[in-house]
Structure 1
Amino acid sequence: MEQNRSLTTNLPKGYKHTEIGVIPEEWEVVILSRIVDFLDGQRRPIKSGNRIKGEYPYYGASGVIDYVDDYIFNDELILLGEDGENILSRNLPLAFQVKGKIWVNNHAHVLKPTSDVNITFLTEYLESLDYSLLNSGTAQPKLNKQACINILVNLPSLPEQKAIAQVLSDTDNLIHALEKQITKKRLIKQGAMQELLRPKKGWKVKKLGEIAEVRDGTHQTPTYVKIGIPFYSVESVTNNDFINTKYITREAHKSLTKKFRIERGDILMTRIGSIGDCKLIDWEVNASFYVSLALLKIKPGYSQSYICHYSKTSNFRKEAELNSLQSAIPKKINLGPISNIIIEMPDYEEQTRIAAILSDMDKEIEALEKKLAKYQQLKQGLMQNLLTGKIRLVSH
């Protein structure tokens, strides 16, 4: 009794305790089946070989997977993924709103909200949930209908639902606009690369070993520690993440860097698993690296930035593949063959000019990506606060 009185005393004014947390007093907690009709019985899968191409979207667990010549639904609905790794990984939307003439296979639950529920509000609410505890699959994650029926929903009044939905929709529009802008900038850069890095009269053909000293990292897996010297691997380059790395002791690092070390201006290139991905080290660095990476120390008279940009061309990729061990699993390219990779280049002054243009484009894209990440974080914060009533948008 004393504990219950203490909980009540600590509640903000106008809020109440519920089975899914503290919410405004006038909000309800309802099970999903009370506010939607499940239309799963109407969905039908079509094998890929039996689909006739058409204009109507064919939906699966995570969105449109094809277009067909007929439709099952012609309505405004919510689709909630029923199975697949996305239930746990959430790399794609799990709950998404659809409208118009569509076909849905048996990998997405089909929900039609009742008239007292705003469809955008409910879609956002369902997308905000953690479904890991509802997963009933073993080999493959699964969200069965019975689990969905009993999902608990925080339900404000319809006017407040609409207000919340509007704010989240406006934020989504900003995010989508930035995503389109980033896509456009990337396409422009791709076109610029094709033109600027296309070999021209007077360009020289060099082997990578002629313009760089090629080394690899330690062949022994070191003992990792929680705090220490960063230890780079293939994932550091492919994910462009040199902050969330593994760490080794200072003593181990000192031993590994007796003969050579990574320095600003060097290039790290993936050579096991992923082949040919390159990263220019353009910061002051104190780190060691694994055998899965090659270290390219570019010789004087050649632009490190130009070479790194050139590594993203199809010509460089083809050269890396041709020089790799074709039968190796995982893929692998040894140091000797790396040295044989052909690079075509103009004189140093032109290398520098080309690299500057492409680097400026990269900076523009990076700035937009940072802005996008901030908006995505803002959206997450808004969802957490608006969908639980911590922030109110209507008078109460």
Structure 2
Amino acid sequence: MIGIEFEVQLGKRVDAAVARGVPKTCINNRGVRWGRIDVAEAATELLSKADLRDLRLRYGDVLVCEGGEIGRSSVWRDELPEAYYLNTLHRLRTKGRYQPDLIAAFFERWAATGELQALVGKSSLAHLTKENLLRVPLPMPSPEEQKRIAEALRAADELVQSLERLIAKKRDLKQGMMQELLTGRTRLPGFEADWRDVLLGDHVTYLKTVPLPREQLDQVSPLRYLHYGDIHTRTSVRLDAAAEPMPRAAGRLAVNAGRLAAGDVVFADASEDPAGVGKSVEVANVPPEGVVPGLHTIAARFDKQVLADGFKAYLQFIPAFRQSLLRLAAGTKVLATTRAYVSSIRLRLPDPAEQRAIAGVLFDIAGEIAALERRLESARAVKMGMMQELLTGRTRLPVEASA
């Protein structure tokens, strides 16, 4: 059991109103991720002499979330020279017979399979109490096999984390490139012509939408249907409606709706979050059966001589475009985008040739990110498969026989 192999201690809640002591860096629940500690989430709290003695982290301590996503855990590897931990975290300190990495791997597997839920009890707010934690049974491979399993899973985890870091860097790079290229602060080689002011309303027509609730959609009708909720949840700014899975609508329900064409931009017209204002997709391809713009959408068809195909997907990231929509939507409970708002926006835009070049650069980096995300998904699947095999004893790793 965990109580036999580990010293278990729950962190302390620090009340800022009455706390006295020395300011110290403290790891909290938010900073504990599967397989890593995010020190950027750490807080500074006043700790007493007793706290400094009892709550200081040592290399190899395992931090386990007591609430929230119960059991989420990671091993402390001296990410900071000195750190402590707060309430809602259990600290497990091995007594020397059990690998910290191995217990963290078991927690991840138990969380994925739902086994940890049996330890929570019937309270409405899930908590992994110290009492229940101490009683958790632990499989007990030999010390050498523990080491081999932990090393194998650690290698798989490091691959996952390296891909996560690379994706984060690529996303930051893409964000920076959009800020530069979409504002004209940085120009691509070969383009020097002045950008011109464009009033969007002079170059757009709008298609009629059809507001159907989810209950009226299906998966078998030929006609594709673009719902505003599916725009908000997308990561790609381009929609290949001929290839991607989409909700369907019976043709009789959308007789009067406009049919989308390649190059059309469809905006979600409502958002509860400022980040979602102006969220849109550009249609890249349509099937013969057709696609209609749906509930809470604005379907815009811009003049291709003014806004080039591919570039329209990035209108939503032009600072002047977003700022205009946010200003117009201010003061409403649900932040709304309207046709009139879109038409009223004036932007400085390059000529279509430069727009296509900008869109090509941004599309390429988006493709690189998508490829890395597929690799990450595969690496995570491999890791989970390894856990399934190694943590159940279904597959055994060879170990050197003791002398």
TM class, shorter-length: 0.7 to 0.9
Letter paired with 1:349: A
Q: Does residue 224 of the first structure (1) align with residue 217 of the second (2)?
A: yes
Pairing 1:255-270 to 2, within 5 Å after superposition: 255-256=253-254, 258-270=256-268
Pairing 1:225-244 to 2, within 5 Å after superposition: 225=218, 227-228=220-221, 229-240=223-234
Q: In 2, are the aligned partners of 1:205 and 1:342 still within 8 Å (CA)?
A: yes
Question: 1:61 deviation in Å?
Answer: 5.5
Q: When the two structures are aligned, how many residues end up with a matched partner?
A: 355
Q: Choose which of 24, 42, 47 in structure 2 pairs with 1:65.
A: 42
Letter paired with 2:278: G
* Residues 344 and 183 of structure 1, relative CA distance in 2, 3 Å threshold: same
* Residues 147 and 364 of structure 1, relative CA distance in 2, 3 Å threshold: same
Q: Choose which of 257, 260, 282 in structure 2 pairs with 1:280.
A: 282
Structure 1 CA distance for aligned equivalents of residues 232 and 342 of structure 2: 18
Question: 1:245 deviation in Å?
Answer: 6.9
Pairing 1:27-176 to 2, within 5 Å after superposition: 31-40=1-10, 43-47=11-15, 56-60=25-29, 62-63=31-32, 64-68=41-45, 71=52, 72-75=55-58, 76-84=60-68, 86-87=69-70, 94-100=72-78, 101-129=82-110, 130=114, 131-136=116-121, 138-176=123-161
Aligned residue in 1 for 2:247: 247
Give the TM-score taking structure 2 as reference length: 0.78
* Residues 160 and 365 of structure 1, relative CA distance in 2, 3 Å threshold: same
* Residues 184 and 147 of structure 1, relative CA distance in 2, 3 Å threshold: same
RMSD: 2.9
Structure 2 CA distance for aligned equivalents of residues 355 and 112 of structure 1: 52
Structure 2 CA distance for aligned equivalents of residues 145 and 277 of structure 1: 45
Question: 1:51 deviation in Å?
Answer: 8.7
Aligned residue in 2 for 1:386: 390
2:217 partner SS: coil
* Residues 365 and 220 of structure 1, relative CA distance in 2, 3 Å threshold: closer
Q: Does residue 342 of the first structure (1) align with residue 326 of the second (2)?
A: no
Structure 1 CA distance for aligned equivalents of residues 293 and 85 of structure 2: 48
* Residues 220 and 74 of structure 1, relative CA distance in 2, 3 Å threshold: closer
Structure 2 CA distance for aligned equivalents of residues 349 and 52 of structure 1: 63
Aligned residue in 1 for 2:35: none
Task: Give the % identical residues.
Answer: 20
Aligned residue in 1 for 2:189: none
Structure 1 CA distance for aligned equivalents of residues 43 and 279 of structure 2: 32
Aligned residue in 1 for 2:303: 299
Which stretch of the first structure deviates more once superposed, 69-78 or 370-379? Answer: 69-78
* Residues 194 and 105 of structure 1, relative CA distance in 2, 3 Å threshold: same
After superposition, the C-alpha distances for 1:54-108 in whole angstroms (9 at most, x for unaligned) are 5634323653431447642242211111112x34xxxxx8111114443222211
Unaligned runs of 5+ in 1: 1-30, 88-92
Structure 2 CA distance for aligned equivalents of residues 180 and 78 of structure 1: 22
Question: 1:290 deviation in Å?
Answer: 2.9
Give the TM-score taking structure 1 as reference length: 0.79
Structure 2 CA distance for aligned equivalents of residues 332 and 51 of structure 1: 48
Letter paired with 1:303: A
Question: 1:126 deviation in Å?
Answer: 0.9
Question: 1:355 deviation in Å?
Answer: 1.3
Q: Does residue 359 of the first structure (1) align with residue 363 of the second (2)?
A: yes
Q: In 1, are the aligned partners of 2:209 and 2:258 still within 8 Å (CA)?
A: no
2:335 partner SS: coil
Unaligned runs of 5+ in 2: 33-40, 186-192
Question: 1:122 deviation in Å?
Answer: 0.8
Q: Choose which of 198, 201, 208 in structure 2 pairs with 1:206.
A: 198
* Residues 212 and 47 of structure 1, relative CA distance in 2, 3 Å threshold: farther
Which stretch of the first structure deviates more once superposed, 44-53 or 174-183? Answer: 44-53
Aligned residue in 2 for 1:16: none
Question: 1:382 deviation in Å?
Answer: 1.4
Question: 1:288 deviation in Å?
Answer: 3.8
Q: In 2, are the aligned partners of 1:74 and 1:99 still within 8 Å (CA)?
A: no
Letter paired with 2:66: E
Q: In 2, are the aligned partners of 1:216 and 1:290 still within 8 Å (CA)?
A: no
Q: In 2, are the aligned partners of 1:271 and 1:334 still within 8 Å (CA)?
A: yes
Runs (4+) of structure 1 exceeding 6 A deviation are 241-246
